Structure formats: structure tokens, C-alpha cells
Amino acid sequence: MKKENVLVVVLIALAIAGGIIYNRSESSAPVIQVAVASEASAKTSEKTNLAMIGTAIGWQDYTPGMATAAKGSKSVFLYFHAPWCTYCRKLKQTTFKDKKILAYLAKNFVSIQVNTDKHKELSNEWKVKGLPTLWFLEPDGTKINSIPGYLDAAQLLLVLKYIHTKNYDKMSFQEFMKQG
């Protein structure tokens, strides 16, 4: 057999073996069990959990999220998305990882996400025509306004402040932006 043919066979075998190993590791993710051995390690674990707060949006499902909002005084940030949506993925990878966005949402909003592929009836009810769609609601579920499409962190933070401070009752968004 020629050297080139042997090399091709070896490369194909490596690719197949790599694919098998990769797929096997995804489908059988290991279960990690942690036991607290002492009071000191329990305190360390608590500090770690507190440090992790603010690294992701505390998304709720629609029904429990709306119930949480109705009981409290926080406005609702309602996010419609789908796994295949390019700008939804971009929002998750950029805007929704921004520390200022995470902190502002956690403090001032009940954040609800709806996968439109799984909950078509909700998408129809909210008249979602494109993705992503961001809705802002009063705590009682009264619609304030929606924004279709992608927003970067700075843009979304301005909108969140506008909604949270209830300036939408007093002025247009353009006037709010001019106030800086």
C-alpha cells in the first residue's frame, strides 16, 4: 500500500474514533455528587453559590413567572426565542451575559422566557411575528410595549431603565434618551 493511502486510512480511523468519543461523552454526562465534609467546606460552598449569582438571568417559565410578578412589584421582561434563531443566540451570548444587564434584571424585573417552538399558543397570543421579541409588562401583566429584534447591552439597559422608572408614562423614549 502506498504511503498516501495508509495516511488517508489512519486519518479516517482517527476521525471516526474522535466522533464516537465525542458523541459518547455528550450522551453520558457524568453525575457529580458533592458531600460537605465539614462546616468550613459548607461555608466555602455557600460563598461559591453567592459568587455564581449574577452570572445568568434567572429565567422563569411563563405561568409561574407571571404569578410571581402578580404577587410582587417588579415589572416583567418577557423574552420570546427559538433555538434556530440567530439573533436569539447572539442575545444569549452577548447582551444576556453583560453584568449590568444581569444585575438590573435581577433587581428590578421578573424575567420570563418562552421558546416559541414549544409554546406556539403563547407566541400567537402575544402576536409574535419575528424573533427575538422582547415584551415589557406591568406586574399585573398589563402590556407596556414590545421590541422586535436584537439589542446590545447598552441599548437594552436604557430600555430597562425607561421601563423600571415608569418614564413611559411621562415622556417618549427619545426624550428619555436625551436626558442621558
pTM here?
Answer: 0.69
Is 6 part of any domain? Answer: no
Q: What is the DSSP letter of 30?
A: P
Residue 94 maps to which CATH number? 3.40.30.10
Q: Is residue 106 part of a domain?
A: yes
Domain hosting residue 132, numbered range: 57-179
The verdict on residue 78 lying in a domain is yes
Cell numbers linked to 131:
424573533
Pairing of strands 143-148, 133-137: antiparallel
Q: Is residue 2 part of a domain?
A: no
Count: domains in the chain: 1
User: pLDDT tens digits for 63-116?
Assistant: 999 999 999 999 999 999 999 999 999 999 999 999 999 999 999 999 999 999
Give me 35's grid cell.
458531600
82, 118 Cβ separation under 8 angstroms: no
Nearest C-alpha neighbor of 90 from the set 131, 146, 150: 150
Low-confidence ranges of the chain (pLDDT < 50): 6-8, 10-11, 13-15, 17-53
